[in-house]
Every structure is written in structure tokens, then in C-alpha cells.
Structure 1
């Protein structure tokens, strides 16, 4: 016969059973929290087409993360709407760390001022994992344009409004905004020709079908060095080491500044420990000397910012740039 349990014995038994049941659950939660990542292929979505600056820089860092992690990072180009289509694909992915992508100034800030309705919330539908790079834009001209002097060009643009054209990687991108800032601050009217990415835009510039191109520096730098296009100006506040003789737009239009920045993003609701693992891998990749040298050759600066830093930076950029877009006549459409 089972002994009768006294109230005290019951409490002891329940305590023992509670401890024996709780302990395995605690171990399982700890094991799950420390699960290694990645254990399989990772997809990296780039919202711009192959051949442009973001594609080149993305492939460099993805290759380094592949080398460091032992798992393949596959770049998928999902171009369109100034990076919006690619960002939307990331936002609608499972938050498991196996679909990541390129976010930043275009899809997470400028899109707010460019599109009346977006398929995602640029502020809340993403996990900002960490920074990847920053770089200025560059204004280049077709080889046979009458001048590459920014002052002479602006003077000609004022005399003949709407005669000339400038290409960009798409509506609402930093490249588009760079051109509209030139129009607004310079008192000129140069027609904007948007493309589905910088690669096709550069192709048409080389073919003489447009007069000018605002491009991310890495995209056009090889063509500048090869003498295929003429460098006119850069959009940073200071001249860059790669092109020390090329002036800044600010030297002619005081206060002009536009620098692109990119962040590694994932969908919302990613677990903190997973974000920490991915961020740590990104920082390690950006610290690699070979990667830094390749980035320097392309005019890009590694930007190992943390998740919290990226979120704050995005908020600050929105406050700074949306009024600039409105002043330049860029309205949500």
C-alpha cells in the first residue's frame, strides 16, 4: 500500500517533480538560443541589377562571409523601384536568418518620400543587422560632351533648360536625388532619365544616349580610369583620394552633400541572439584586409555599425533627407 502523503511530503514531492521537469526545459531553451548559424545556404537579396556598384560590393562581402562561415551566401538580384522590390522580398521572408538583403538609404529612407504607398513599412518591417559600407556618388559625362567642368556645365544648363539629360539607377534613389539637388540648388533644368539600375544607365551613357549620369562611385570609377567617361564632380563634402583632382559639388553649390550608405537587413522579429551572430560575422568580414583593399579600390568605406546604430542612423537620415526631397520637388507618387 502506498504511504499516505502528509501536506509537508506533498510539498517536497511537488518541489522535486517541478525541479526535474523544469531543468530539461531550461536546457532545451539554452541549446536553442545558442544554435549555430548558418548551417545551410544563405540568400542575400540585392534590390539592384547585376553590374552596378551595389552588386559588386555585395558580392565582395558575401564571398568573404561565405569564406568565414563555411556556408554559401548566394546573391539574388531582384531589381526594380529603386530597391523597393528587393527590400519587400526580404520583409516578407521568414525571420530565420537564411534570407537577408541590402537595405539602406534608398529602400529605407528615400522610398518614403518617393512612393505614396509602399509594400512594406521602411521603419518597422525590418531588422537592421549592421552596416556594410558608405560611399559618395559621382557625376560623370559622356566622353564627347562639350565640357567636364561643373561650372561650365551649370552655366550651359541655365542657358538651355531641358536640353540635357542625366541618368540614374531609378526613381527615388540617392542618384536621382543627387540630380534633383543639382537642379534645385543650381537653378537648372536637366531632364531625369531613370533606369532599372546603374549598370543599364552606364551602358547608355557609354553609348551616348544620355549626357550625364549620377552613379555610385564604384560603378563608374573603372570607366573614368579607362577614359570612357569624364568625371565631373563627387557628392561628398570633401574630395576623395581616388580622384583628387575632381571637385565636389559643394565647391560650386555650397551645402550640397549626398552619401550612400547600406546596411545588412533581415525581416522583422529576428531573435536577438541570431542578429548578434550575423552582425558578428559581418563585422569580421569588414575587418578583413583584402576586403578593405578591394573596397578602397572602388571608393567605398567599410561601415561596421551595430544594429542599434543603424536604426538610429536611419531615423536621423529620414529627418534630414525628406525635407530635402520635398524642396527638390520629389513627391510621393
Structure 2
């Protein structure tokens, strides 16, 4: 009888250890296998640069290999969907963005994942301002100049963007909504061709990240009229914010963040958050983020989740009031 009871007790322990998300399973993380960090954009961009920097540092902190996998497509949706449908064991992470978790969910009628429910919120890495640019041969010296011209001749002045559904595109949509300036959108396949056409005066204006725009502003090839965030960019202290330039309530940032699949054990999420905060506080990483024009504020998973909720509501409003959808 005692032998039978011992076998039953042993079997119950085996069943507990096999249950998903229990403490016994968490204790092994991250020793079991390499961690995969999915970057849902092509190699060489800001997300890829940041993802590889973070992967290198996480390898040291966690004593485990971290592999970056680029899964580009549909403004970050393709890669994000891969992670949403991955096991919630802490071994698959996503470098998500405003495009994958706020703009696309707000603008696309059909999404393969729920941005609010299908992910665990790990850490908001930082944000980069966008900047409203015009070619130096254009007559617009201020935001008010551009608004006046757009109102005088609706839908005749164009703005370029890095692509449909990008933060650059949606900066323009918010500008149209809040300033009442009816600009025509010209989407490109990436920032490089868009900005070259603004420099060459094929398109009079554009919204672009400070990271991409800064060298062209410094060389005198482009004129910066305003940044899209509520505070001035450290790299462009002389350039006003859109609110300072007369467009109230304007606030757009191109942000980057780390997510895991929903139901990832809280102990894993909290450990990742703590290690990432240590990494972002290190002098060499802070210096690299400065070169990207990215700012970071310390945040918990709960604070990041609340930030993401507010961002999604903001873009849902733009979609509704501006009648903007993405096919």
C-alpha cells in the first residue's frame, strides 16, 4: 500500500513538472536552448541595429546564445505574428515597434494577431522622433508656411514616407488631421529612396526619423521644420516641436520594444526586463542609442503595457477621424 501511494505521489510530481508555466519549468530558463529574437524588418535598419546590439549584450547577461532572425513584411506584422504563435517559454522574443503594435492594429481591418492580448509586454526600449522635412529649394520656411500652402491648394502638395503604415506615413496622416492641411501621400519602399527624392525636389516634403534625416540636415541638403514628439530632439535642439510650431496635441514617435508570447511566465518577463534595463543603463549602449537619436525611460512590464494601450487608442482615433485604412 505504501509502495502504491509513493508511485501515485511520484506520478503527480511528473505531471506538475510537465504543466506549462509552472515554477519548476521556469527555474531552468534560459539554460535549455538558445533564445531567438525576431526582428520584423530587413537587416540594416534601425530595428535590426538595435536588435543585434541588444542580442549581443543579452548573451552575456543570460549566459545563453541569442540569435537574431529577420522576418520582414507588412510593416512588422509578419514577424510579430510568428512570435505571437510561438511557445510561451521565454525562448522566442520580438523586437516590436509602433508599426507592429499600434499603427497596423489600428489601421488594418484584418490582423492575424491581437496586439493587446497575444503578447507579454517586456520592455519599452526607447523612441525616436520623426521630423518634418522640406527640400532646401522649397519656399516653406516654417510649419505655418506649409499649412497655408496646403490649405490654399488642397491635395497638391505631397509628402514622402518610408512606406504605407510606417510611423513616417502616419506622422503625415496625423498632421493632416490636426493641422487641417490636406497633403498627398507618396509612399516609398524605404527611407533611402524617399529622402533622395525630397533632396532632389521630386517631392516637396517628407516625414522621416531623426536617425535617417540628421546627416542630410547637417549637410544642408534638407530643411527641418519641426520634430513630431512633445519635446525637442537632443540631436536637433534648434528645431521646434510640432506643438511649438502651432499644431496642438501632436505627438508621434517611432518606438521600439521587446515582447514575448502571451502566457510567458512572469518570472521570465521580469528577469528579461531587469536585464534589459541594466543593459540600457550601460555607458556604451547609451552612447550607441544617442547616435540612433533614441531616448529611453526606465519602465516596468506593467508601465510598458499601459503605454502600449494609450498608443493603440491614439492611432485608432487617427484611423477613425482621418478615415485611414491600410489594405
Same fold (TM over 0.5): yes
The equivalences for 1:85-124 within 5 A come to: 85-124=78-117
Q: Which has the larger radius of gyration?
A: 1
Could you tell me how far 1:114 is from its partner in structure 2? 0.9
Q: Which residue of 1 aligns with 2:157?
A: 164
After TM superposition, list the pairs within 5 Å mapping 1:313-328 onto structure 2: 313-328=307-322
Return the alpha-carbon distance in structure 2 between the equivalents of residues 99 and 203 of structure 1: 37
Q: Which one of 8, 22, 35 corresponds to residue 42 of structure 1?
A: 35
| Aligned counterparts of 1:63 and 1:203: Cα–Cα separation in 2 | 33
**Does the CA contact (< 8 Å) of 2:107 and 2:316 recur in 1?**
no
Question: What is the aligned counterpart of 1:176 among 169, 184, 198?
Answer: 169
Of 177, 181, 189, the residue aligned with 2:182 is: 189
166-175 or 179-188: bigger deviation: 166-175
Give a deviation string over 1:121-164, Cα, whole Å, max 9, x none. Answer: 11212122222112322112234333342222222222333232
1:250 aligned counterpart, secondary structure: coil
Does residue 58 in structure 1 map to residue 51 in structure 2? yes
Q: Which residue of 1 aligns with 2:220?
A: 227
CA contact (8 A) 1:81 1:170 kept: no
Change (3 A) 1:223 1:64: farther
Q: State the superposition RMSD in angstroms.
A: 3.0
Q: How far apart are residue 264 of structure 1 and its match? A: 0.3
Structure-1 residue corresponding to 2:6:
17
2:318 corresponds to 1:306:
no
Name the structure 1 match of 2:273: 279
Distance in 1, matches of 2:197 and 2:218, equals 18
Q: Distance in 2 between matches of 1:231 and 1:39?
A: 50
Aligned to 2:253: 259
Moved more, 67-76 or 171-180: 67-76
Query: What is the CA distance between 1:86 and its match in structure 2?
Result: 2.1
Q: Name the stretch that deviates more: 266-275 or 108-117.
A: 266-275
1: CA distance between counterparts of 2:136 and 2:53? 29
| Long gaps (5+) in structure 1 | 1-9
Shift in CA distance, 315/227, structure 1 to aligned 2, threshold 3 Å: same
Q: 1:44 to 1:124 in 2, by over 3 A?
A: same
With 19-28 and 150-159 compared, the bigger mean Cα shift is at 19-28
- 2:71 equivalent in structure 1: 78
Establish whether residue 214 from structure 1 lines up as the match of residue 203 from structure 2. Answer: no
Rounded Cα–Cα distance in structure 1 between residues aligned with 2:136 and 2:15: 67
- Change in Cα spacing, 1:107 to 1:156, as seen in structure 2 (3 Å) is same
Aligned length: 322
Counterpart Cα distance in 1 of 2:69 and 2:161:
21
**1:269 correspondence with 2:263:** yes
Instruction: Return the offset for 1:265.
Output: 1.0
| CA–CA distance in structure 1, aligned partners of residues 195 and 56 of structure 2 | 25
What are structure 2's unaligned runs of at least 5 residues?
A: none
The match for 1:144 among 132, 137, 142 is 137
Q: Paired residue for 1:3?
A: none
- Rounded to whole Å, the distance in 1 between the matches of 2:174 and 2:157 is 16
